[in-house]
Amino acid sequence: MTARQRTGQDAERRAEAHLKAQGLRLLARNYRVARGPSRRGGEIDLVMQAPDGTVVFVEVRARRDGRAGGSAASVTAAKRRSLVLAAQHYLLRHASPPPCRFDVVAIDGEQLQWLPAAFDGG
């Protein structure tokens, strides 16, 4: 495992612990979907469920510090599209899809910021 992968895993564990402390429950970790045999589709870092039943798709971003716009600014339009694709695939398992939203947990150094409903899936 590379240092970058370890950093990502540590950030995801930290985000998961924070969200659990806020009352969310883990449904899936690193949910992946492909667009085809050789094309990546998307990955959702954490799939959580809020106390009201809302399915929360969480993107975790981490940077050493807040320079260059910080980690929250690194969730690009292309990244949002891949998250929506993976979320649509995840929701296919439900006969009647539950309410859902897309959150971002941005970690800049030691500072963690949870951004509920950071963007919509439309």
Q: Average per-residue pLDDT in the chain?
A: 89
pTM score: 0.90
* Residue bearing the bigger pLDDT, 99 or 6: 99
Alpha-helical segments (H) within the chain: 3-21, 77-91
Nearest Cα to Cα of residue 57 among 91, 18, 34 = 91
Say which CATH number the domain at 40 has: 3.40.1350.10
Residue 62 falls within a domain, yes or no?
yes
Q: How far apart are CA 1 and CA 83, in angstroms?
A: 24
Torsion of CA 36, 105, 67, 69, to 10 degrees: 70
Does residue 36 carry a pLDDT above 90? no
Count of domains observed in the chain: 1
Per residue in 8-25, pLDDT tens? 899 999 999 999 999 999
Residue 122 falls within a domain, yes or no?
no
The range of the structural domain enclosing residue 108 comes to: 3-116
Does residue 115 carry a pLDDT above 90? yes
Q: Which two tokens stand for residue 53?
A: 């039943």
DSSP designation for 93 = T
